A and B are shown apart, each in its own frame.
Chain A
């Protein structure tokens, strides 16, 4: 009798949970994020001590970063004068933001002239790349500052160099041997970092942007835009087939594969603004690239 009563209670609890989850209006995306998060977390926790003990010097990091940048940029097309104008704009904003980084590295900022690339990434030692597709989403210079600050902080906080060390270990590469870096593909830098590192880069990147004279709301407006895009981008699966296709799509290239949920980043940005009393710094500068034209054509 007692056993039956317990069974009824357990069953009722299950059915109630079923009822509430069915009634929930907000759709829940099916994703492998939880598994990826657990694996990335475990890897990071286990690698922290060896990383600290085998830290590369700043000089080595810069030299490796330069070598990687040369390697990846070999064979890329020459930028058009319009794109050069855009790149010099990125460089100006980036330098302004990077001035306040903790480590004094030779930060450099580059444009990737690909409108389909809604992403940005950084290499160890200083190089930062921004896809043209991501720039297309921006409406203010402050938003660009937030993205560049975020990527700069991946370098500043050793996320890039630690990834390099992990990759070198996994691929059994010796970083002091010339040519060893050829085996490290560009995709590992585009893939983003674990949740902790991404949120840290968001936080610290916002601080850099604010120290550079930009509005902290740049990150908020950007994350709101990302959240909207994220909702449009993901498939709200209604069947097992759609769930499986959603899991497949998540493995495709894109910004949302490599970063935490925009809602989480937005919540952190708002928390930081309240914590630092930045509420009065709302004004954002327009995204304005200055070109020089001669006879109706863009020139350098």
Chain B
């Protein structure tokens, strides 16, 4: 195949061959055919980095990159789906973690495809959407591998946000889409994963404990899905807002976090909101009261005062609820 096919087709050829081999191995219950199929599929995945991901012309959306990598992803996930926990005949395949390999290779191909398909700035939003889908799939299929992938990708997305926050030109200011819209949409998609994350946490609570480190990480997806976007949003406000408006923006963010914390009864969220409000108060006393232009100073005092009033009102109104999750 490597000799006969075009460079662009080799990965697809190997994957189709792997698929047929896998089916044959499954049909005849022959382990060696299935194992060979896994090798062919893994090789196809590796191959896309050398021929498929950089194929096509600039600005071409439905180009050779898309129509060769997407079918590969489909094949990877199809094979992964056949390796379900109920199948006794493929126990060895699962023992050797070929199911995990296929699952990771499938998601990896999508993540890699998006990296080359989308403009650099929009990549964080695209990856955030993949995180959303992974969390949804983890909940729907009850397979924790997708949750692990989602957590890994949220870490990757957060690292990638450094490109949006610090990677822009040192001199070109950039427009509002570069400044707020792209990052704002990524943060919104990440926060949209919170309902999935809470339901996954509740499900994981009922399961047997796993090893300490993995357990701590995986059993609290709601913490990842909260702290990653909040941290990114706070950083974005600090870096992209006009200096005079940063305290105001953080104050509003702190009040919104408090509201969210009350809605979901989550202690860490509430403490984060409070910390942010306290930082704002400190910032006003140390910096804003002395350094800001009069107009910015008035706006800061009014909005932060309103935010603090709102929080104290909420505290007194929901005193009992707050006491429960202190």
Q: Is the Cβ of A48 less than 8 Å from the Cβ of B162?
A: yes
Q: Is the Cβ of A102 less than 8 Å from the Cβ of B49?
A: no
Give chain B interface residues in 1-21, CB to chain A under 8 Å.
2-3, 5-9, 12-13, 15-16, 19-20
Question: Is B23 close to A, CB under 8 A?
Answer: yes
Q: Is the Cβ of B167 less than 8 Å from the Cβ of A14?
A: no
Q: How far is the CA of A2 from the CA of B128 in the complex (A)?
A: 32
Q: How far is the CA of A29 from the CA of B68 in the complex (A)?
A: 15
Interchain CB contact (< 8 A) of B162 among A24, A46, A261: A46
Q: How far is the CA of A204 from the CA of B171 in the complex (A)?
A: 10
A-side contacts of B70, CB under 8 Å: 17
Q: A33-B54, A264-B58, A267-B58 are in contact. Are A240 and B2 (CB under 8 A)?
A: yes
Q: A30-B51, A196-B120 are in contact. Are A102 and B75 (CB under 8 A)?
A: no
Chain A interface category by residue count: 35 or more
Q: How far is the CA of A102 from the CA of B116 in the complex (A)?
A: 31
A47 CB to closest chain B CB (Å) equals 9
A38 CB to closest chain B CB (Å) equals 7
**Chain A CB within 10 Å — which of B3, B7, B23 has the most?**
B7
Q: Is the Cβ of B50 less than 8 Å from the Cβ of A32?
A: yes
Q: Is the Cβ of A11 less than 8 Å from the Cβ of B20?
A: yes
Q: A28-B51, A102-B171 are in contact. Are A14 and B15 (CB under 8 A)?
A: yes
Give chain B interface residues in 114-152, CB to chain A under 8 Å.
115-116, 120
B-side contacts of A10, CB under 8 Å: 19, 71, 74-75, 78
B301 CB to closest chain A CB (Å) equals 31
Interchain CB contact (< 8 A) of B5 among A22, A30, A45, A52: A22
A215 CB to closest chain B CB (Å) equals 22
B-side contacts of A17, CB under 8 Å: 12, 67-68, 70-72
Q: A14-B16, A28-B7, A28-B8 are in contact. Are A35 and B49 (CB under 8 A)?
A: yes
B108 CB to closest chain A CB (Å) equals 11
Proximity bits, B25-61, A CB within 8 Å = 1, else 0: 0000000000000000000000011111111011100
Q: A11-B16, A11-B20, A21-B12 are in contact. Are A45 and B167 (CB under 8 A)?
A: yes
Interchain CB contact (< 8 A) of A14 among B12, B49, B57, B169: B12
B-side contacts of A239, CB under 8 Å: 2-3
Chain B interface category by residue count: 35 or more
**Chain B CB within 10 Å — which of A3, A21, A268 has the most?**
A21
Q: Is the Cβ of A49 less than 8 Å from the Cβ of B166?
A: yes
Interchain CB contact (< 8 A) of B50 among A18, A21, A34: A34
Q: How far is the CA of A52 from the CA of B162 in the complex (A)?
A: 12
B-side contacts of A200, CB under 8 Å: 169
B-side contacts of A46, CB under 8 Å: 159, 162
Q: How far is the CA of A262 from the CA of B115 in the complex (A)?
A: 20
Q: How far is the CA of A37 from the CA of B19 in the complex (A)?
A: 30
Q: A32-B50, A44-B167, A267-B59 are in contact. Are A14 and B71 (CB under 8 A)?
A: yes
Q: How far is the CA of A157 from the CA of B167 in the complex (A)?
A: 11
Q: A20-B67, A33-B54 are in contact. Are A45 and B162 (CB under 8 A)?
A: yes
A-side contacts of B23, CB under 8 Å: 7
Name the CB-closest residue of A to B160: A45
A-side contacts of B52, CB under 8 Å: 28
Question: Is B283 close to A, CB under 8 A?
Answer: no
Q: How far is the CA of A3 from the CA of B72 in the complex (A)?
A: 18
A-side contacts of B57, CB under 8 Å: 263, 267
Name the CB-closest residue of B to A243: B7
**Chain A CB within 10 Å — which of B6, B15, B52, B53 has the most?**
B6
B51 CB to closest chain A CB (Å) equals 5
Q: A46-B162, A48-B162, A48-B166 are in contact. Are A34 and B5 (CB under 8 A)?
A: no
Q: Which 5 A-B pairs have the closest CB atoms?
A: A48-B166, A267-B58, A14-B16, A17-B71, A21-B9
Q: Identify the B interface with A (CB < 8 A).
A: 2-3, 5-9, 12-13, 15-16, 19-20, 23, 48-55, 57-59, 64, 67-68, 70-72, 74-75, 78, 82, 112, 115-116, 120, 159-160, 162-163, 166-167, 169-172
Not counting A10-B19, A31-B54, A204-B169, a sample of 9 additional A-B residue pairs whose C-beta atoms are within 8 angstroms of each other reads A3-B82, A14-B16, A17-B70, A27-B7, A42-B159, A45-B160, A48-B166, A157-B170, A264-B58
Complex A-B: 7 CB contacts under 8 Å: A7-B78, A10-B19, A15-B16, A17-B72, A45-B162, A196-B163, A268-B58
